[in-house]
Structure 1
């Protein structure tokens, strides 16, 4: 796999690490192909969680504008080719049946926003900022950026952030619900790894059901949602992890969940 993205498994956590710090982890052709490969690995691995992080000063500046400049005459074709790769991968990453966490250590913009916010839980350094970037280039959002901004902050706020193209400091991102936790820069990675490993040790059916139900909450009626909750609850109740969880509660000890997807 290209070194643009590193994939590795530690303690049942799959790590997806953006690894082009000298380019601001810009999402160009090489990064796109490497991300697709990493997501495929995550989809087939025996893991309990995924942690997305990045090396360098930026989490990701978004699209590789330098590559856009080099291919101005064929820009629509280049963008179409990249999105045909990336959008299915983004869907696959967001819908993994395990918790996905992102650790945002530096500024993020453009498609980097989608890569960070597609996670179920977003941890960030308190020094970072978010900036759309699309409006300045005469482009519209991709990689789910408008989707995740609207779901987390509301459509009106998402339009303001993307149209105004103003930088949003980390504490404002936390207030708007874009980030879930803020940490001092030097403490971020350890906090994100600890959370990922904690969730990776959780009950697999419970985690998958919580994720699926919450993600579906705005797309179906209350009646349909209650039926989905019933089905999920019964499925979890039949699992050996449920037996273990109840036994651990009675015995006042930590549960040792062992079910796998």
Structure 2
């Protein structure tokens, strides 16, 4: 059962947390009300501790960024509106991306502005062959938000991200794939099915194993080898105590698929 508030829907079933932006008539732009609903959706989904989280959007545009009409209405108080949105949305995005389970984003269309951060925050980013990335910040005299600069730089490199953001020119799907901004491209009609196959596969995996891998690979180059090996030892010992590890070893010996998450 999905809950819906201000064009954001969410729910958790069969170990899969789903968050859907559903304001296609507004290009899934992020208004103040939608940002608060998105924060509520993130908290509700994470509290259910799913094995995987899927972030997707309805319509031909994944997310155009901030709600420019709302920005215009704010007038001289635009900075106040920005604070009202980001004071809640940035911490929620941090909770989502640092959660132990994998995050998958399904980018079924163009993406711009703050939507870049939402699109590229995933551990897996699947997109359509028709997608375009439009940064847009320089055209309205603003700087990046919602992790757009961070996630873009992490995926395509700092200098290329800087150039894309400074020029504000549309970047096509093939170029996004070649640069590493997205992980795979599919025909529009095949994206949903390919994404569902991936999240179902992740949902069947051992959650402790997935969480350990994510923790180890996050900032791996920022740790010394000694610290990293100690963390590997700690996490492997924890996994080795789990029912999933016992099941995985038995299944391997018995030459059958493992059934994780069943005590």
Using structure 1 for the length normalisation, give the TM-score.
0.96
Is the aligned partner of 1:163 residue 2:166?
yes
Task: Could you list the structure 1 runs, at least 4 aligned residues long, displaced by more than 3 angstroms after superposition.
Answer: none
Q: Which of 56, 60, 64 in structure 1 is aligned with 2:59?
A: 56
Distance in 2 between residues matched to 1:43 and 1:175, nearest whole Å: 32
Listed as ranges, the matches of 1:37-76 within 5 Å are 37-76=40-79
Q: Which 10-residue stretch deviates more, 4-13 or 79-88?
A: 4-13
Is the aligned partner of 1:236 residue 2:239?
yes
Q: How far did residue 259 of structure 1 move? A: 6.2
Q: Which 10-residue stretch deviates more, 2-11 or 60-69?
A: 2-11
Q: Which of 221, 224, 228 in structure 2 is aligned with 1:225?
A: 228
Distance in 2 between residues matched to 1:11 and 1:43, nearest whole Å: 14
Q: 1:259 to 1:225 in 2, by over 3 A?
A: farther
For residues 86-131 of structure 1, the C-alpha deviation after alignment (integer angstroms, 9 at most, x for no partner) is 1001001101211110000000011111011111100000110101
Q: Which runs of 5+ in 1 are unaligned?
A: none
Alpha-carbon contact 1:4-1:30 (below 8 Å) kept: no
Q: Which 10-residue stretch deviates more, 19-28 or 213-222?
A: 213-222
Q: Which of 110, 121, 124 in structure 2 is aligned with 1:121?
A: 124
Is the aligned partner of 1:195 residue 2:195?
no
Q: Which runs of 5+ in 2 are unaligned?
A: none
Aligned residue for 1:252? Answer: 255
Q: How far did residue 170 of structure 1 move? A: 0.9
Q: Which of 164, 178, 183 in structure 2 is aligned with 1:180?
A: 183
Please give the root-mean-square deviation of Cα atoms over the aligned residues, in Å.
1.3
Alpha-carbon contact 2:18-2:53 (below 8 Å) kept: yes
SS of residue paired to 1:218? helix
Distance in 2 between residues matched to 1:77 and 1:34, nearest whole Å: 19
Length, aligned pairs only: 260
Distance in 1 between residues matched to 2:167 and 2:131, nearest whole Å: 18
Using structure 2 for the length normalisation, give the TM-score.
0.96
Q: How far did residue 144 of structure 1 move? A: 0.8
Q: 1:3 to 1:79 in 2, by over 3 A?
A: closer
Alpha-carbon contact 1:203-1:259 (below 8 Å) kept: no
